[in-house]
Structure 1
Amino acid sequence: MLTLIAYEERLRLSLDLASVIAATTRWLVRAYPAADGATNAALAEAQARQAVTVAAWLRYPTSTDAGLLALAGPGGSFRLDWLADAEPYEINGPDGIWRTYVDEVVASWAAALLTCSTLASQAVAALDDCEHGAGTPGEFRRLTAPDAHDCRAAPLLRHPDLLALVVDLHRPQLVERLRRLHSDDQTPTSAV
């Protein structure tokens, strides 16, 4: 059970990443829209938000990392838009503002999680090593164990071929991050 201080710290860290999570989620659901209907849109957004949240927490696991992101900025969606063949947007227009908060690495990692359930489960398990997400695996069921409704709602968002260009941008770094987190958990059993 989280203590009140641990919960407040987790909430503060999540707020530090809230703009990046919101913008990157928005980019994913606009680039890979849900099936028709309000329920499908809500289910697809929930899946995207869970994937982006896990990716952001793994990418920026400490308050220092989140603080550095706030100083440097996430980079924006320009290259992602080009890869997804999205319509060009006006930098100074209304679309330009939220797109500056999109984090390319987080979007790539989230796309990888959405298209590979094994990777998603490993990523959620690795959250125990982050300041953000200790003890939260149940919060990400739509990501790690999508039901038939989830899959029907987001066929584009979970299609490995459609997301391949975005996934391939930074998947190796995600795999390496998970490998390092997993190996840090291992203790040697013998000196052989």
Structure 2
Amino acid sequence: MHVDLSPVIAATAYWLIRAYPATDGTMNAALAEAQARQAVTVAAWLRYPTATDAALVAIAGPGGSARLDRLLAAGSFGYEAGAASGPGAASGSAPGSGARIPHQATDGGDGPGPGGAGPGGADHAWRTWVDEVVASWAACLLAFPALAAAAVAALADCEHATAAPVDFRRLTAPDAYDQRAAVLLRHPDLVAPVADLHQPQLLRRLHGDPVGTAG
């Protein structure tokens, strides 16, 4: 059981990077991925602040990326929802994540089956571990550093944070290299369709629902 939330974090960060690609270059790709993973980690810890919460989402599943894929497919974001997965997705891991994404049973759709893209294939498998709310909250944090700082501060007593302290400076205080690498990922207007989906819930969690007191 993946009570550490790593499958959800890996899949959701990978979705964001595919939706809002980094500036060209290996270093830029690494910097953008680091920022996406930090934002998604903070968002996931806010949404699932206890080990019990993490265990429950591992059992029930986070919901998948279907709505997010439809949203981006309807826009002009340089991302095709049905595109073949990138390196690592076929083996059940997000690129560079170091965290394996278990393959949930698929819905038996009309995709090409294991190893291919679309329903029933490897591209669909990792998408089942994407959490729409976590993606939306992470987009908010990436677009607004002040909100990111408030979110990190809210994690002070979170079980995940106390068990494994993490430095989130690339998220909360991005330097010029970080900003250049993730210009699409941090652009408020571009990420707004995703960020706006669940921004009110994030604001309630930060300002009226202390982490650890509600699911």
How high is the TM-score relative to the length of structure 1? 0.84
What's 1:53 paired with?
41
Query: 1:79 aligned to 2:74?
Result: no
Q: CA deviation at 1:71?
A: 1.5
More helix by share: 1
Q: CA deviation at 1:42?
A: 0.1
Report the residue type matching 1:123 in the other structure.
A
Q: CA deviation at 1:130?
A: 1.1
What's 2:29 paired with?
41
The alignment yields a C-alpha RMSD, in angstroms, of 2.1
* Residue deviations 1:105-128 (CA, integer Å, cap 9, x gap): 000000000000111000000111
1:84 match: secondary structure = helix
How high is the TM-score relative to the length of structure 2? 0.75
Contact 1:129 1:181 in 2 (8 A): no
Of the candidates 112, 115, 125, which is equivalent to residue 143 of structure 2?
A: 115
Number of aligned positions between the proteins: 172
How far apart, in 2, do the equivalents of 1:154 and 1:26 lie? 14
Contact 2:45 2:155 in 1 (8 A): yes
| 1:138–1:24 Cα change, 3 Å | closer
How far apart, in 2, do the equivalents of 1:182 and 1:19 lie? 25
Contact 2:154 2:211 in 1 (8 A): no
How far apart, in 2, do the equivalents of 1:55 and 1:88 lie? 23
Q: CA deviation at 1:137?
A: 7.5
How far apart, in 2, do the equivalents of 1:118 and 1:137 lie? 20
1:178 match: secondary structure = helix
1:146 match: secondary structure = coil
Q: CA deviation at 1:88?
A: 3.5
Q: CA deviation at 1:67?
A: 1.1
Query: 1:106 aligned to 2:134?
Result: yes
Q: Where in structure 1 are there 5+ consecutive unaligned residues? A: 1-11, 185-192
Contact 1:75 1:100 in 2 (8 A): yes
Contact 2:158 2:211 in 1 (8 A): no
1:133 match: secondary structure = helix
Report the residue type matching 1:23 in the other structure.
A
How far apart, in 2, do the equivalents of 1:137 and 1:125 lie? 12
| 1:123–1:50 Cα change, 3 Å | same
Contact 1:128 1:135 in 2 (8 A): no
